[in-house]
């Protein structure tokens, strides 16, 4: 949830020529010293809205060009033509990239700056020497470790996780959480944020992080894709419990060492021999210093540090191109890991679209199967993709977000899409025809409504993020298409057409939505394998809740601002002193109104801090909670004031004013109750 300063796009960071590419097998490298400091935060991507077309007729596809030959020289030339300009246009400091094909490291390139010079001398990115934090791409290593132990017979995918750990696993349904659920992001946990990141912290205690105040389980396991850092970290803890060694030590011995990934580690803080090779991370384009090293407490979910050439070795292993210990997994185990992890039995029609494998996102580019995983952090943004049917893999990482909040996303999307179009274009160039047009209008009408992300907070005050922007609206259109605002992967309004019953494809695009329907109601919309949109009931719809709270705040602010000047107005107009009857109730109403407004302002500041992954003291949250409850309790004296004004026939102006205050307090109380601001659970 990073917030970056917006700057003039013309104020870009100069990009040096790409670092020379060494034609070596990954793992052979000389040592050079680079300045060190890096930053990592856990992931959330925000969206923005833009205008969308009013028609949804797919444009005829032009004749697809023949695939370019995937050679060392062609890939190097293509990357050199794309990335320097992309970095300059986005003001992202640097990028590292590696491409593998047919068992070889085809290209390893570095672009821009590992250090921009704000902390010292400028240093260019070197694909072998410069280290990047890969964020949630780390989860692929965690899943690989789990599958190694499954292959060895020490773990079973469908055994309850509770049998492998020594603390209670969140449990609210009669279905037990298994490793299969953890690897497919379907354990049903809500999202939690607190304690995920420590700035320049000590080595994290994974067990304490998992066992202390775990998230609530809000979905039945196996039924709702809901991306979960907690679930991935729990899978990593299972690895260390069963293997008997810390997670970072297990990965080093069983994955990194066999692959000769000697520039990679899950250890935090970084070992001394790697610290000076770390790329600096930048939270904004005008940062006066690089971000500090952030220790990811849920280490298996996002703590890996690696070079591009090391990541190439990992890709080759999962493409089945390495032998012996470097293969990591037997062929049948690797095939099991790469296959969808769940089917229609639990997912229903959500299984008709992209699904999670046992660790990888199942993607599709131009009709070719792609396995991949992204990793977005505060300052590092990465993606890895494999084309298993073509023996191809590509990895890219950047060390800044750019001038705009979506710059790093757009850069990676453009690079990966451009790579696919150049080297693995669509085999069928004919325009596709929607398959479900006869029922599309009916299905579109059923889908219309407001939805919230399955990856959300339910039991804490962070539930208020829902109406503040974490909601998606679907509008049915006359031609049977649907307008989704924002598109869950595009972050902009996107039009989808039904190509099979309850399967919708982006018009003139490749992204897919799948709908699960029960009793003629859409109960879930799946996308990207690990995420879903769930219907939002009317009172929690931002279209209702936001006007409610804004209107209520306006009423209370108006009243609060009028109270200090009211006596002056009365004296100036010679209206005489106000009747002292009901004075206590009026004072209590005013105190409650002030506290309710202060509480809302305090929650807003707390939310902003949490979005920056800054710790918010529990004592402060307790004060905000007490103030919010005081605003609720103020409904009693506010009601008494209204009754007293009516009983005493104080005039319609006084009755109206006191009634509006009562309504304002009621609106704020309703909003607070709906979105967790009255919850006594102060964790998040």
Residue 395 is classified by DSSP as: E
**CB contact set of 224 (below 8 Å; sequence gap of 6+):** 186, 188, 454, 524, 532, 534
- Do the beta carbons of residue 177 and residue 160 sit within 8 Å? yes
Helix (H, G, I), strand (E, B) or coil at 377: coil
d(CA 516, CA 521): 8
Query: Cβ atoms within 10 A of the Cβ of 157, count?
Result: 17
* Maximal C-alpha separation, the chain: 97
Question: What angle do the packed helices 635-647 and 618-633 form, to 10 degrees?
Answer: 20
> Among all residues, which ones are annotated catalytic?
136
Six-digit token pair at 138?
């780390």
SS3 track for 266-304: CCCCCCHHHHCCECCCECCCCCCCCCCCEEECCHHHCCC
Beta bridge partners of 522: 517
Query: Cβ atoms within 10 A of the Cβ of 651, count?
Result: 10
d(CA 211, CA 192): 13
Residue tagged 């320097």 (tokens): 84
d(CA 216, CA 674): 17
Residue tagged 């319609």 (tokens): 652
d(CA 608, CA 588): 30
CA atoms within 13 A on the CB side of 615: 8
Helix (H, G, I), strand (E, B) or coil at 392: strand
Residue 158 is classified by DSSP as: T
Peptide bond into 486 cis (omega under 30): yes
């Amino acid at each position: 949830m990073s917030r970056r300063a917006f700057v003039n796009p013309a104020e870009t960071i100069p990009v040096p020529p790409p670092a020379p590419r060494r034609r070596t097998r990954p793992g052979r490298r000389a040592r050079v010293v680079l300045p060190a400091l890096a930053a990592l935060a856990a992931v959330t991507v925000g969206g923005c809205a833009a205008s969308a077309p009013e028609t949804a007729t797919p444009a005829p596809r032009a004749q697809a060009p023949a695939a370019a030959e995937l050679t060392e020289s062609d890939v190097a030339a293509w990357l050199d033509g794309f990335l320097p300009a992309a970095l300059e246009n986005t003001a992202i400091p640097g990028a590292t990239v590696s491409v593998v094909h047919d068992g070889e490291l085809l290209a390893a390139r570095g672009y821009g700056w590992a250090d921009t010079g704000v902390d010292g001398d400028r240093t260019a990115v070197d694909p072998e020497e410069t280290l990047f934090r890969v964020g949630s791409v780390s989860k692929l290593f965690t899943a690989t470790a789990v599958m190694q132990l499954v292959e060895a017979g020490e773990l079973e995918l469908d055994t309850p996780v509770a049998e492998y750990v020594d603390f209670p696993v969140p449990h609210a349904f009669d279905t037990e959480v298994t490793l299969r659920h953890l690897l497919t992001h379907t354990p049903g946990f809500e999202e939690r944020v607190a304690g995920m990141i420590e700035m320049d912290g000590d080595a994290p205690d994974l067990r304490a992080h998992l066992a202390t105040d775990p998230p609530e389980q809000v979905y039945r396991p196996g039924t709702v894709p809901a991306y979960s850092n907690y679930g991935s970290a729990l899978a990593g803890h299972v690895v260390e419990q069963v293997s008997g060694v810390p997670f970072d030590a297990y990965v080093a011995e069983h994955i990194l060492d066999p692959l000769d990934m000697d520039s990679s580690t899950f250890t935090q803080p970084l070992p001394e021999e790697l610290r000076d090779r770390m790329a600096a991370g930048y939270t904004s384009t005008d940062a006066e210093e690089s971000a500090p090293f952030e220790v990811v407490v849920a280490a298996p979910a996002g703590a890996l540090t690696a070079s591009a050439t090391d990541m190439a070795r990992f890709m080759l292993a999962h493409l089945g191109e390495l032998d012996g210990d470097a293969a990591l997994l037997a062929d049948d185990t690797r095939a099991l890991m790469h296959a969808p992890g769940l089917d229609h039995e639990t997912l229903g029609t959500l299984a008709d679209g992209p699904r999670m494998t046992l660790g990888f996102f199942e993607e599709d580019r131009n009709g070719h199967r792609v396995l991949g995983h992204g990793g977005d952090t505060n300052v590092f943004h990465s993606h890895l993709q494999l084309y298993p049917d073509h023996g191809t893999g590509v990895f890219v990482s950047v060390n800044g977000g750019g001038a705009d909040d979506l710059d790093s996303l757009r850069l990676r999307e453009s690079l990966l899409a451009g790579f696919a179009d150049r080297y693995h274009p669509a085999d069928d160039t004919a325009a596709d025809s929607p398959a479900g047009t006869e029922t599309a209008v009916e299905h579109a009408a059923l889908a219309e409504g407001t939805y919230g992300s399955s990856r959300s907070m339910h039991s804490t005050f962070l539930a208020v993020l829902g109406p503040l922007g974490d909601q998606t609206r679907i509008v049915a259109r006359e031609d049977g298409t649907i307008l989704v605002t924002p598109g869950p992967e595009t972050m902009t309004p996107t039009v989808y057409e039904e190509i099979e019953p309850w399967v919708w494809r982006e018009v003139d695009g490749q992204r897919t939505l799948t709908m699960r329907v029960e009793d003629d109601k859409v109960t879930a919309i799946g996308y990207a394998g690990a995420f879903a949109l769930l219907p939002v009931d009317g009172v929690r719809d931002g279209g209702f809740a936001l006007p409610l709270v804004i209107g209520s705040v306006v009423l209370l602010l108006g009243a609060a601002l009028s109270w200090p000047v009211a006596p002056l107005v009365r004296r100036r107009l010679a209206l005489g002193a106000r009747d002292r009857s009901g004075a206590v109730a009026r004072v209590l109403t005013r105190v409650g109104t002030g506290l309710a407004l202060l509480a809302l302002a305090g929650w807003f500041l707390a939310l902003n801090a949490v979005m920056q992954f800054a710790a918010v003291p529990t004592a402060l949250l307790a004060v905000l909670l007490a103030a919010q409850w005081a605003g609720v309790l103020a409904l009693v004296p506010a009601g008494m004031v209204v009754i007293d004004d009516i009983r005493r026939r104080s005039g319609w102006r006084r009755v109206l004013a006191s009634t509006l205050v009562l309504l304002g307090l009621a609106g704020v109380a309703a909003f607070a109750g709906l979105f967790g601001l009255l919850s006594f659970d102060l964790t998040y």
